Structures are given as structure tokens and as C-alpha cells.
Structure 1
Amino acid sequence: MDDLPKETPPVRSGANASGSCAAMLAETLRLAAPRQRTIDNHMFRAGRASFRLQLFTAPGQRAVAVATQAEDESPSLTNDAELCAAAVWQQFCPGQELPPVWIERQLPGAFGREPDFQLVTFGETEQYQLHQPDWCTISTEQIVHLVGGPVAEDRGEGYVPPEPEAEPELRFEAIELQRLAQPRPFREECMSGSSGATSRSRSWTDRLLRRRCCWYHSGDWHRVNDMALTALSRARDEDVKAEGMTRYADAYAAAAGASKWERAALYSLYCPPVAIQPSGDDYISNSFINGQHRVQAMRDAGVGRTVVLRLVRPDNPAD
């Protein structure tokens, strides 16, 4: 899963939520004591997450960690709250039985909200392992009271914005059909039995006999894929990019005397918005973004190889 969209801490509402939040704050503020800011790391990293870490400590007192993150940093403090808090606990407070009081702030506020500090408590705690985070807004004044001194509210001058991620490259690839996940077509009744969706499906033999039961079964996928694989090989020799494959393949099909159906089918294999696209690189264990009806029709016809579309990131060494 490379990264999820940044989430927003749940907004508490209602009497029970307010009471719970008030109890969280009251219990935390009972820990108020003069502390020193012993860590101010503008580019602290925990796993893949980066943030400004301010750590306030005092002998005999529970540490307080304030983590601040910019909008363009990912994964977010919200998504990785457990991991980030546990990393600070293990690295800077290994002798403490409990993790630091964890306070986070994301700049600017998500979904147009004003950026505010969030006190995060955890429902389950093991040594350097935290689970079940819960969020509650805490004011700057309350944090100052908690640590006994000022706390920085910005990202810090030492912040280094991440480099913009390179756009993934479109790439067509020949693949054995058996490497693809089992499709689950949902539109055509003649395919339903293949995915186990309904008992009203036809047998495999019946589907082959009724070749015109739907668009997907009404043409020769062997011939289409032979053309697709040949076009792909020639396009690589001529350095044709994925974005140019739609016209290139159609011109090849026209020159080869392809029928109207065959040209439409070949077009569907090389048109990026509708090309067969598995949901991940580990093809057989994933589902489809596009193409499961065509793949099922190819399976019914006994096709061995086809062409799929991949999104390849330049920084992925596996690609």
C-alpha cells in the first residue's frame, strides 16, 4: 500500500464525547510540572514519517512529546500515531514505564480547519508498542501549563520539504494469463459462473458454443492477442511510448486486415483509461482496476498471454 490519503483525527461531538475528552485533558494536565525542552529535532524520522520533535523532560516526571508536521509530509502523524510515539518512547525514554504524553499538530489544518494541537492517548500499551489511539484537542495554553514553559507551534527553520514525487510511468507488459488474479465479472450472465456469483451460469462448453452471447465472447481473442503482442514487440523496437500505443496498435490492426470487433478489442488493450490493469505488481494475489471481463473471456477461449498496463515509479528498484 504505498501511502493512504492523510486522515483527520475524529471530531468528537455530543455529551459523551465531550465528557471523554474533558476526562482525557484533566488526567493529562494533572501531570503538569516544570520541564526542560531537551530535544528539538526539526527533521526527526520514525519509520517513513518525518516531523519536528520537541521533547520536554524533568527528573521523576513523565516526558511530553510535541510532534509537528507539514501538509506535504507523508505518511501523516495521524496515520502513524502509534509508530511515531513508540519510536520516541524507545529512543529517548527507554527507562520510563509509560510512553511520553503524545501531542501532535499537522499544518495547515486538514479539510480547511484551523491547525490545532491534538492530545493522543492510547487504549493499549505494551513496551514500545501502542494501540487504539484516541484524539482530543488541546490548546497551546494547556500545553504550556503542562510542560511549564513555551512550546514552538511551527515546523521550524530546519524543515526540509520533501522532493516532489516523480510521476509514475505508464508501461505495457506482456504477461501469462495464469499470473493474473481470478476475475469476478459482474455484468454478463454468461460469465457469472466463472466467478461463482450465481447458479444460473452456463457451463464452460455452453459458453464456447454461444460465442455471440455478449461482446466479450463474440470475437477471436487469440488473434487479438497475437496482434497485441506483435505490436508491443515492434513498438519497443521503435521506442513508442505507452501514451502512443493506442494509435500505433490500431494502425497495425488496420494494416493486418483486422475486423471491426478485433480493432475494438485491440484498442481496449492499448487505451490507457480502459486497458487491463491489475491492482498490484504481485498479479496473482490482487484484483483488477480494469479488465476482468476481458480476462475472463480470454480464459474461456484458452488464451495463454495478453498485455496489461502498469504504473511504474522511477524510484522503485524492482521496476
Structure 2
Amino acid sequence: MSSHTSPDATGDRVARLLSQYAARRERTVDDHMFRGAEQAPAPGAFRLQLFDAAAVRPVVLAIQTVDDGPSLINRAEAYASAVWRCHRPDDAEPPLWIQRQLDEPGDDESPFQLVTFTVVGHHRLAEPRWHRLTAAQVEHLLGQPADGSRGDGYQPPPAEPEEIPVYEITPVAALPQPRPFREPHCMPGPNSWRRLLFWRTHPARPASCCWYHQQDWTRLSETAITLIEDAHRDGATGCDIAPYALDKARAAGPAADNHALHTLLAPSLAICATSAFTNGQHRVQAMRDQGVIRTITVRWHTPGAPTETDLG
């Protein structure tokens, strides 16, 4: 077992996993452009590091940038299933899954996340749950420092006209209708009469069914709008807007808000929806349930192409 002192856990389940599975592991796979196999393709690419030790579950550290294809966040089940099929096909359960979604290859700020799943069949996973980890906790689990970079073997996609994020104030009612996605207990179909009855007879407020519904999206959306307006006023443009706004949020706001604000402001996580969602279904569902009037969304624009005003 690892000789490292156990770092503070972020919750009971994380504490149990760290206690049960921490070991001094050896890195046995470091595939900088893992895409699965012909019989088990992955939705996109990511850096796959696999760590092994005797008599304990292996651990995967998956690292991806926004340019690698469908994100680790949106397709966690598919990526983890592909690794299970390709690298541990005879194991009864998948490797423990730690992921890090980077905004760009050199990003050293994005957090590590332990993702737990429900096994629903042979090499089939569902119901991902995210648990934020510190670098010290990852090191404790692996028994060695974690390399959280995209790696020197990263092969960026062919150059395309560079797009920049454009942040807009958007009425929540103007966003597409969220569809049931992963969480049927708190994201039922749009015609659920029970849901309509509940939210018409209860004051709009955060609920406890999941992390998304626990956030106060009215306050967070207004904070994000103010931060984006301040960024524009101070001359920040394009890809400089999010770092400006997030730095200002970290300096001024409570730490508990920073992660939620990060999901509204970071280009790779921000709500992006025109006729359909790229990101943000569950957040928008929670906003609708809470009666949020407006929020910040992002769309991607190629400089030189026709555009509307940067901030609607």
C-alpha cells in the first residue's frame, strides 16, 4: 500500500475509495492519442494513462482538450467502456476512472475528477457521478505524482479557421427544451405533468436531487453576466474573456461559487445551444425549474465571418 499520508477526502464515497484502492502503482499504458479499437471505438481521442498494482483495481487517468472530439464530460460512459473493453476485457468491473478536461493543451488549472459509474452490462456503463479530487488525492491513489498534462505525444487536429467564443445574455426561455439525459429522476421528459405541478406549487428554489439543482442559478447567472460585462468594459475580447472573468470571480466571490461559475464561463463548459445543445442541458433544466430569467451562453465565431454584437 502507499506510504503517503491520506489527504482530506471530498466526501464519504471518495474517502472510502481512496482508503480501499490507494496503492503504489506502476504506469503500464501511456497512450497519448487513445481512440479505442476497431471493435471498441471511442467517441474521440484522449491521453490514456493506466496504472496497475497487484490485487487492486487498476486506475485510469484520462486527459483531453477541447479539440479532441466529444468531451470526457459528455461521453464519460462511452470512453470508460472503450478502455474497459480494450485494456481489461476479462475484468468483472472497469478500472477506476479519473479524468481531467483541459481548456487547452497547456492548461494547468482544470481540476481532476473521479467519475464513478453503474455497471449495466458486459463492458457497459451508465449513470456517471463526478467527484472532484485534488492533485494530492490523485497522487495518494496512484502512489506517485500524477502527470495531468496532455503529453508530448498530443497530435492536434488539422488547423482550421480559429473560432473565438462570443458570450451572450440569453433568455432561458429562448434556449432549446432539454431532453431527458442520464438523470431521469430530475430530468424527466418535457411533458411530465408531475414536474409541472411540482414547480407550479412550490417556490422556485434550489433542490437537492443533484449538484445542478442544488445551485442558485439566478444569482450565479447574474454574477456571470456582470463579470462578462466587466470584461468587455475593460477591453477583454475573445479567448481572453473567460480568464479575466474567472480571475475576478476567484478574487471576489465565495470559493463555493467558483466551480459553478467556471461551468458558465469556461469556453469548453459554457452553455452552448442554438437549435440543439452542445453543452448545458442539465444546467438549463435546473434554471427552468428555478424560474431563472436569463443567463450567459456562448457561441463560436470565426473572425471575418458576419457576426452580431458580442453581448446581446
TM-score calculated relative to the size of structure 1: 0.43
Larger gyration radius, structure 1 or structure 2: 1
TM-score calculated relative to the size of structure 2: 0.44
